[in-house]
Structure 1
Amino acid sequence: MKRRLNILSIFALVLILLIGCTSESSTDNNTTNKQNDNADTEEPKQGGSITIASASEPGNLNPLIWATSSDTLVTHMVFDSLVIPDEELKMIGSLAEKWDVSEDGKTYTFYLKEGVTWHDGKPFTAKDVEFTYTSLAHPDYDAGAYWRVDPVVGAAEYKAGEAESVEGIKVIDDYTISFTTKEQFAPFISGLFIGVLPEHILSGVSPAEWAKHDSNRAPVGTGPFKFDSWETGQFIQLSANKDYFKGAPHLDSLVVRFGDANTMLAAFMNKEIDITSVPIAEIESIKSLDYADVVLSDQLSVYYVGFNAKNDHFADVKVRQALAHATDKRVIVASILGEYGEVADDIFPSKHWSHSPDLPIYDFDKDKAESLLEEAGYKKNSKGFFEKNGKELSFTLQVPTGTKEREKTAALLKQQYEAIGVKMELLSLDFPTLVTKLLPQTADGKQREVTKDDYDAYILGFGIEADPDEYRSYFGSAYMPPNGYNFVGYSDPLVDELLDKQSKEVNFEQRQQYIWEVSKKLAEDEIWIPIYEQSATYVANTKVAGFTPDFRGVTFNAREWSVK
C-alpha cells in the first residue's frame, strides 16, 4: 500500500484539490425544500421497504455485460468490487482489505477480506477474483470490459487463444491474488472497479452464453442486497443481505420499478413509489407536496450528440463542425435547464481534473455553420435544404425516452438544425433498444461492428465513473464494437497515441497534459457535440432517510437508506 501512495500521491492530492469542490457542492446542493431538519441525526430505523423508480428496465444483471445506468442501478446493490471510488474518486478497498504495489510499479498484490460469502452461502475467495478478470480476456468475451485487463501480462495471448490462462493473474492463497501489468499503467486500480462474479455458478459457462444464463436474470452476488424476483416490464425486488460483510442494510427490502418519467412521477404523487428522478419543469410543483423532498446532486457527466462516423455526411469533419456552430447551447440551457444546468464545451466534465481550460469553442453562428457546409461541397436546393451530389443532408437523431430534458433538447436541436437547412428527424425509443443500435449483434447474438446503416446520430449523457481512461474505450481505434464502446467509429492516430501515453504516465501533471491534448483533438474533430452539464434532480418521500445520491450512482449507498 505504501508504494501505491508513493506513485499516486501527487495525483491524489491534486485530485482532491481539483474535484473537492464537487463533493462539497454536492453536499451544498443536496438541499431539499423540507429535508430532514433533524431526522438524520437520529439512529436509522431498522426494517421497512423502499421503492425506487428506474427510467428503463435493465438489460443485464451481470455487471460484466455492457453495463448501462439502468443495469448498475441494480447491480451496485447486488455485487461488490475489489475496489470502489470514494466521494473524491480515490479508489479504496471493498472486497480487497488492502493492496501493495511492487517497486517497479507493475505488480499489484491484493489481500482480500476474509469471511465474505456469496448470497447462496458459498465462501468468496481469490478464485472468484481470478475467474472474473480472466473471463474479461476470454476469447468468447465480447461485452465491452476487456480494456480493464488488457494491460495485464498474458491477457492478449489468452484472448487470442494462444494461452490457457492469463499469465499475469496469480492466486497466491484463498485470500491473496496478484496482477502483473506489462508496463506501468496509471488507471489500473480504477479499472478494477467492476462487480466480481461467482466462479461456482459461471465456471464452465462460455462468456458468450452469459446473457442467456439464468444468473443474468437471477444474480448471486456478495453485495448488501440479494436478488429476489424480476417481473418483466414491472419491477425487480431485492432483500437485505443480513450477512453483508460491511454490515447489514437498514432496510428489509428494496424494489426497483420501471417506467417513463411521467408514469413514475405520477406513481410518486400517488405514494406508490418513494424515490424517482424529477423533470426540472416539475420541481416547483413537486416542492408544494408536504411529503416530498427534492434532492439535487452534481454529476461528473456531459450530455452530447454523437455521430456515426461511417455515415456519408458525418464522415466529413466540416459537417460535424457546422452542426456544432448551429447548436445554440445557451438557449437550450436557459429554456430547459435554467439554474440546474450549464453549457458544456468539453466532453470531459468541467468539475473534473480532466477538463481542459484551452479548447476550440463552437459559438452559435448560423452563418459560420452554413459556410462550413458550403466548404464541404453542399448547396441549398429549392426546398431550402443543403444537398451534395443530389443527396439531401438529412439524418435521424435517436432519442432515448425517460429523460424529459433530453427529449426537449432533441426537439430544440431539430429546430436549430433545420433553421440552417439541415433536415433532422427524431426517433424516440427506449434505452435498451438504442443499445441494440449502438452495439449491434449478428443473428446468432454476437456483437458485431457498427455500419453506416445502424444509426445516424444519437443524444446521450456520458460521465466519468472512476477514471478518465474510460474514454479510451469510446475513442480508441482498437475499441470499436465488439471490442469496446467506440460505436461512433472514431479513429485518429494522434488520439490513439495520446490515450496510450496517458494510461502509462504515473506523473499526474504529465498525464493531465496528455488528456488535455486528447480533449483538444476531439473538440477539433467534434465527433461528439457536448451540449450541457446538468444537476441530477430527484424527489424522495419524506419517510426516506439517508438518500444522498452522487456521481457514483443513485443506489451506491443504498445500504444506508432507511425508513423514518
Structure 2
Amino acid sequence: MKKGSFLALLLAAALAVVTGCSSSSSTQPQTPSSPTETAAPTEGGSLTIASESEPGNLNPHIWATSSDTFVTHMIFDSLVIPDKELKMVGSLAEKWDVSEDGNTYTFHLQKNVKWHDGTPFTAKDVAFTFSSLAKPEYDAGGYWRVSPVVGAEEVHEGKAQEVTGIKVIDDHTISFTTMEKFAPFLSGLFIGIVPEHLLKDVSPKEWAKHDFNRNPVGTGPFQFVKWESGQYIELKANKEYFKGAPKLDKIVARFGDTNTMLAAFINREVDVAPVPIAEIPSIQSLDYAELKVANQLSMYYIGFNALNEHFQDKKVRQALAYAIDKQSIVGSILGEYGKVSFDVFPMNHWSHNPDVPQYPYDPAKAEALLQEAGYAKNGKGIYEKGGKELTFTLEVPTGKTEREKTAALIKQYFEKIGVNMELRALDFPTLVTKLLPKNADGTQRKVTADDYHAYILGFGVEADPDEYRSYFGSKYMPPNGYNFVSYSDPKVDQLLEQQVAEVDMEKRKGLFWEVGKKLAEDEIWIPLYEQEAPYVANKRLVGFDPDFRGPTFNAKDWAVTQ
C-alpha cells in the first residue's frame, strides 16, 4: 500500500461515519467531537486512550509488562516513583530516612490514604506486599525486589515464615533492613502496593487466578469499574485521592492493533493513540490532532532461547547479528524517530557503554561465522549442521507496525545468507505464555527448548538498570525471574551482583559497562534500534505528556476542554 493511502481510507471512513447513521448497539464508549483550540479545560469529563495490546494482569506483582502498567499505573500507588531524571521521589512514602550504615530505610507514609473500597491504607499493607514476594509459593517475577532484605532468602527457601528485615513500627511507619548496602534498593520499591485485607488469605500462587487480578482495588487516582475482554477497561476518578482528585471523571483504555486504534482516533472514538511512524506526516494534517513524541529509555531486540541447539553457540548468534542491515531498517521504517543500537542498555542512560562490540551489516562475515560453527549449505541453499537445517521461528507480537515491518525485513536478510526463519504473529499475552510458561495446574515452570525459538520485543530502564539482573542473572530463570532466554555466564552474574553493593556511582557505571560489553560479545539479545514513541492526541485533551515511564503516568493531571 502506498504511503498515505491507508490514512486516506481512514479519512474516507471517518467521513462516512460523520455523514451517515451510527449504530446504537455499540458497546464502546464514545468520545465527543473535539472543540476549538481556544476552549478552556473543565472539571470532569471523560476520555478514551488506546493501547496496542490488552493487559494480561491487573495485579502489578504478576509478571508486569508495559501493557499491564498502561492501566495499573492509574490504579495503584507505590512507595516511591521515578521523576523525569530517574531520581526516586516519594509517593505513598512522604519521606524516608537512611541509617548511618546505609542498610536500614525507614519510610514515613502518607496519612489519610484509603483503598478504593474505603479501607484505610497502613504500613501493614506495605509489609504484606513485599513479604508476599518472598514466599516460596510466589512465582510471578518480583522476588528480586525483596531479595536484598534481611530474612527474605530464608522465607523464599521455606526456612522461615517472616521477613525479619521488614518491621512495621506504627500505622504510618515501616522500615526495611538490607543484608548489606544495596545501591538500587529504592528503585526496586517502585511497584504497586496491594491491599492486605483483600489478599491476606489468598496464597500468592493463586493471585493470577484470583478475582482481584480482574477486579483490582488500589489507592491510585483512578479506580477500576469494568473490563470487557478484548475491548476496553473502564476506570473512574478516585475523588478521595490523597494527592487531590483527578480532573477527569472517567478514563477508558481501549485495545487493538495500531491501525485499528488509529482509525478509531480519526473517527473520534479515541482521544489518544499510538501512531505508526509512516502515518505521522498525514495525521498531522488533521486540525484536531496533536503529535506527542515520548523519548524512551529502551531498545528493540531479538532474543534467543539459549536452550535451542542452534543458539547454544554464540558464533551463530553473532552471525545472525552481522546478517541484519540495521541502518536500512532504521532508514526505511523509523527515519528520524529511530537510531541503530548495538548495546542492550539505552543510549541516553548512564549504563550505556559506547564501546561495546558492534556487528555492522556484513553478510560475508555472517556466513563465515556459520561455517566456523560447523554449518554448511545443503542442496536447498540452507545452512545445516548434523543434518539439521538452521531453521527457526521468530515470535512477533502484533499491534506495533514498526516491529512487524522489522521482522519481515529481518526474515529477508536471513534468507539471503541461507537461514530459514519463519514468522509467527501472535498477540502479546500469548507470547508471554511462551516466555513464561506454566504447568497444567497454572504454576510457573522452567522454559524448555520447545517453548519458543526466538522473539522480537522492546526493553529498557524503567527506574534503575538493576532491572536487567532479573533478565540475565543465572538464578533468575523462570519461575524465579525474567531470564526466559536461559542465559548463564559467571562473569555477568558476578558483575550484576557487584553493582548492587556499589554505592560509588562511577564504579557502578563501570560495572554496567562491563556487563554491556559481555552481553554484546555473547549476543543472546541482538539489539536492533532505539525508537521514539509517537502518539497522536486530540487537542481537547490537556496535560498529556508521555515519557519513558509510560503514556498514562500523569493521567491524574489530564483534563478535557469539554
Could you tell me the TM-score, scaled by structure 1's length? 0.93
The match for 1:294 is 291
The match for 2:110 is 113
- Superposition map of 1:40-439 within 5 A: 44-439=41-436
Partners of 1:469 and 1:130 in 2: how far apart? 22
* Aligned counterpart in structure 1 of residue 465 of structure 2, from 468, 490, 501: 468
In structure 1, the gaps of 5 or more residues are 1-34
Partners of 1:107 and 1:563 in 2: how far apart? 44
Shift of 1:161: 1.4
Shift of 1:70: 1.0
Partners of 2:41 and 2:35 in 1: how far apart? 12
The match for 1:18 is none
Contact in 2 for aligned 1:36/1:545 (Cα 8 Å): no
Deviates more, 1:482-491 or 1:212-221: 212-221
Q: What is the letter of the counterpart of residue 313 of structure 2?
A: D
Partners of 1:351 and 1:497 in 2: how far apart? 25
- State the SS of the aligned residue for 1:189: helix
Contact in 2 for aligned 1:385/1:422 (Cα 8 Å): yes
- State the SS of the aligned residue for 2:225: strand
Contact in 1 for aligned 2:49/2:273 (Cα 8 Å): yes
Partners of 1:507 and 1:119 in 2: how far apart? 41
Q: What is the letter of the counterpart of residue 147 of structure 1?
A: W
The match for 1:14 is none
Partners of 2:253 and 2:430 in 1: how far apart? 20
Shift of 1:297: 1.2
1:248-282: CA deviation from partner (whole Å, max 9, x where unpaired): 11100000011111111111111111111000011
1:421-444: CA deviation from partner (whole Å, max 9, x where unpaired): 101000000000000000000000
Partners of 2:446 and 2:501 in 1: how far apart? 28
1:467-519: CA deviation from partner (whole Å, max 9, x where unpaired): 00000000000000000000000000000000000011000000000000000
- State the SS of the aligned residue for 1:419: helix
Partners of 1:350 and 1:43 in 2: how far apart? 39
Q: What is the letter of the counterpart of residue 563 of structure 1?
A: V
The match for 2:525 is 528
Partners of 1:191 and 1:220 in 2: how far apart? 22
Shift of 1:37: 12
Shift of 1:212: 1.3
The match for 1:22 is none
Shift of 1:386: 0.4
- State the SS of the aligned residue for 1:136: helix
**Percent of residue pairs identical:** 71
- Superposition map of 1:516-555 within 5 A: 516-555=513-552
Shift of 1:36: 12
- State the SS of the aligned residue for 1:299: coil
1:359-415: CA deviation from partner (whole Å, max 9, x where unpaired): 111111111100000000000111111000111001000000000000000000000
Partners of 1:524 and 1:320 in 2: how far apart? 10
Q: 1:87 to 1:43 in 2, by over 3 A?
A: farther
Q: What is the letter of the counterpart of residue 78 of structure 1?
A: I
Contact in 1 for aligned 2:37/2:539 (Cα 8 Å): no
Partners of 1:460 and 1:230 in 2: how far apart? 26
Q: What is the letter of the counterpart of residue 200 of structure 1?
A: H
Q: What is the letter of the counterpart of residue 331 of structure 1?
A: S
Partners of 2:305 and 2:48 in 1: how far apart? 38
| Residues 1:505 and 2:517 are matched in the alignment | no
Contact in 1 for aligned 2:78/2:189 (Cα 8 Å): yes
Contact in 1 for aligned 2:82/2:88 (Cα 8 Å): yes
| Residues 1:494 and 2:494 are matched in the alignment | no
Partners of 1:38 and 1:411 in 2: how far apart? 40
Shift of 1:81: 0.2
In structure 2, the gaps of 5 or more residues are 1-33
Contact in 2 for aligned 1:45/1:562 (Cα 8 Å): yes
Partners of 1:149 and 1:43 in 2: how far apart? 46
Partners of 2:396 and 2:67 in 1: how far apart? 16
Shift of 1:43: 6.9
Shift of 1:357: 1.9
Could you tell me the TM-score, scaled by structure 2's length? 0.93
- State the SS of the aligned residue for 1:293: strand
Contact in 2 for aligned 1:114/1:175 (Cα 8 Å): yes
Contact in 2 for aligned 1:52/1:276 (Cα 8 Å): yes
Q: 1:476 to 1:349 in 2, by over 3 A?
A: same
Contact in 1 for aligned 2:35/2:540 (Cα 8 Å): no
Contact in 1 for aligned 2:541/2:560 (Cα 8 Å): yes
Contact in 1 for aligned 2:95/2:109 (Cα 8 Å): yes
Partners of 2:207 and 2:147 in 1: how far apart? 21
1:506-541: CA deviation from partner (whole Å, max 9, x where unpaired): 000000000000000000000000000001010011
Contact in 2 for aligned 1:100/1:108 (Cα 8 Å): yes
Partners of 2:36 and 2:329 in 1: how far apart? 35
Contact in 2 for aligned 1:44/1:250 (Cα 8 Å): no
Partners of 1:36 and 1:169 in 2: how far apart? 52
| Residues 1:453 and 2:456 are matched in the alignment | no
Partners of 1:306 and 1:431 in 2: how far apart? 15
Q: What is the letter of the counterpart of residue 553 of structure 1?
A: G
Q: What is the letter of the counterpart of residue 181 of structure 2?
A: Q
Shift of 1:211: 1.1
